[in-house]
Amino acid sequence: MKIALLGFGVVGRGVYEITRERSDMQVTKVLCLEDISLPDAQAVKNIRDILEDDSIDTVVEAMGGLHPAYEFVRAAMEAGKNVVSSNKALVCTYYRELLPLAQKMGVGFRSTAAVGGGIGWLSELERARRVQTLRQVGGIMNGTCNYILDNMTRLGKDYTEALKQAQALGYAEANPTTDVEGIDTWHKIILSSNIAFGISLDFDSVPVAGISRILAEDIRRFAAHGRVCKLLGIGKRTEDGFSVYVQPALVGQDQLEANVPMNYNLITFVGDISDRMSFYGQGAGRYPTAYNVVQDLVDVAAGKGFYAPYGVGTKADNTETLSWYVRGGWDGQISEDWDGAVITGKVSVADMHAWLKTHSDAFAASVQE
């Protein structure tokens, strides 16, 4: 297998280093805007140098972002080259374009590292759905948010202090919006649900709420009631369709999710045969992520395509009702008073997310039963 790398950052360099130890694959070209010198690969700055090279059969996209990553990946497929990507935003956003194109061109397309980094979550979903119906997927899918919430819970830090610590350690970007507002998890749960359920979700029907409004006083209330807050992405098969959303959630202190530390992920599927199966590990990092990129390269070389057939367009139905912890401005039904906050009666996921959009100072978290 002759490989071209798009990008030579954390993941790209990891892929290069791992493949150098293998005899069945070789990185021969690297697209990189910086001047780099490699002993066995040519650095190029023009994508045409890769697209017009007939010796290259596979392209690894490790650039990140949507543009020009999308244009380059699409062009690679149109040139008859297999594509492996670690870019969850790209694969999720252009799911409806890239899957049919890969099938049309007869090329491999894999993205295991896009969700869960080194866990191998999407390849596990692929195996699971072959022999059973999956009823639910999701869990802790963003290491940045988990690090912040874990530090607030265990060390008593406030949100700003925990965020600064995450940034200092490289767990959070200088602009952490994509992580803390739940967008990263949103991409991951949409992609996971598409594969698990064989659908293609309408983005606008999947609501998302992050953790940026949480306060230290919220954490103290949770602890007093035996609860821990985590940001969860959830996808469920329901009687009427599929319920998919991202939001803070309160889990019992003895639950697996409550005890996931630092920047780790814990992602779960529930099947009608296997019941619950959970996968735990590093959600990012050079070698854990590059490991699954190379696993995808091995699968592509063996003739594997995407994890599930392309499914029909589907809107999420978030009429599921839950109890919620709410601080700030709630005037609906109340079932408990938590000394400055309340536990609501049953409110649908759709209605609570709509309410949060009109109450910018409020914080809400579902209460997991």
The C-alpha atoms of residue 117 and residue 67 are separated, in whole angstroms, by 21
The C-alpha atoms of residue 124 and residue 12 are separated, in whole angstroms, by 23
81, 147: one domain: no
Q: Which tokens go with 105?
A: 């061109």
105, 125: one domain: no
Based on the number of CB atoms within 10 Å of its own CB, is 204 exposed (0-12), middle (13-18) or buried (19 or more)? exposed
What pTM did the predictor assign? Answer: 0.96
- Among residues 110, 132, 164, which one ends one of the domains? 110
Alpha carbon distances (Å) from 26 to 46, 60, 82, 117, 363:
20, 12, 14, 22, 50
Is 188 marked active-site? yes
- 241 closest CA partner among 308, 318, 307, 185: 318
- Among residues 83, 110, 137, which one ends one of the domains? 110
What kind and span of H or E run contains 295? helix 286-301
37: Cβ contacts below 8 Å, ≥ 6 apart: 43
62, 86: one domain: yes
Q: Which tokens go with 354?
A: 């709509």
**Which CATH number goes with the domain that contains 137?**
3.30.360.10
Alpha carbon distances (Å) from 28 to 19, 38, 87:
11, 10, 21
Q: What average pLDDT score do residues 237-262 get?
A: 97
What pLDDT sits at residue 170?
A: 86
Residue 298 in any domain: the answer is yes
Model confidence at 282, in pLDDT bands (50, 70, 90)? confident
Based on the number of CB atoms within 10 Å of its own CB, is 5 exposed (0-12), middle (13-18) or buried (19 or more)? buried
188, 330: one domain: yes
16-51 per-position pLDDT tens digit: 999 999 999 999 999 998 889 999 999 999 999 999
- 99 closest CA partner among 115, 53, 91, 166: 91
| Residue 283 pLDDT > 90 | no
- 248 closest CA partner among 225, 227, 224: 227
What pLDDT sits at residue 33?
A: 87
Residue 202 in any domain: the answer is yes
Residue 175 in any domain: the answer is yes
Residue 55 in any domain: the answer is yes
| Residue 313 pLDDT > 80 | yes
318: Cβ contacts below 8 Å, ≥ 6 apart: 205, 207, 243, 244, 245, 348, 349, 350, 353
96, 147: one domain: no
161, 297: one domain: yes
225, 276: one domain: yes
**Which CATH number goes with the domain that contains 7?**
3.40.50.720
What pLDDT sits at residue 174?
A: 93
198, 292: one domain: yes
Residue 116 in any domain: the answer is no
Q: Longest Cα pair distance anywhere in the chain, in angstroms? A: 68
State residue 291 phi and psi, 5-degree precision. -55, -45
What pLDDT sits at residue 235?
A: 98
151, 262: one domain: yes
The C-alpha atoms of residue 193 and residue 200 are separated, in whole angstroms, by 8
Cα dihedral value 103, 104, 109, 111, nearest 10: -80
Portion of the chain with pLDDT greater than 70, in percent: 100
138-171 per-position pLDDT tens digit: 999 999 999 999 999 999 999 999 999 999 988 8
The C-alpha atoms of residue 300 and residue 107 are separated, in whole angstroms, by 9
Residue 115 in any domain: the answer is no
76-117 per-position pLDDT tens digit: 999 999 999 999 999 999 999 999 999 999 999 999 999 998
Q: Using an 8 Å Cβ cutoff, are 101 and 77 in contact?
A: yes
Among candidate residues 81, 157, 188, 236, the one labeled active-site is 188
250, 174: one domain: yes
Per the structure, the count of domains in the chain is 2
| Residue 63 pLDDT > 90 | yes
25, 164: one domain: no
Query: How high does pLDDT run on average in the chain?
Result: 96
45: Cβ contacts below 8 Å, ≥ 6 apart: 31, 32, 33
Q: What average pLDDT score do residues 274-278 get?
A: 98
7, 64: one domain: yes
- Among residues 56, 79, 110, which one ends one of the domains? 110
> 3-state secondary structure string, 306-329?
CCCCCCCEECCCCCCEECEEEECC
> 23 is in which domain, residue-wise?
2-110
Model confidence at 56, in pLDDT bands (50, 70, 90)? very high
The C-alpha atoms of residue 338 and residue 9 are separated, in whole angstroms, by 47
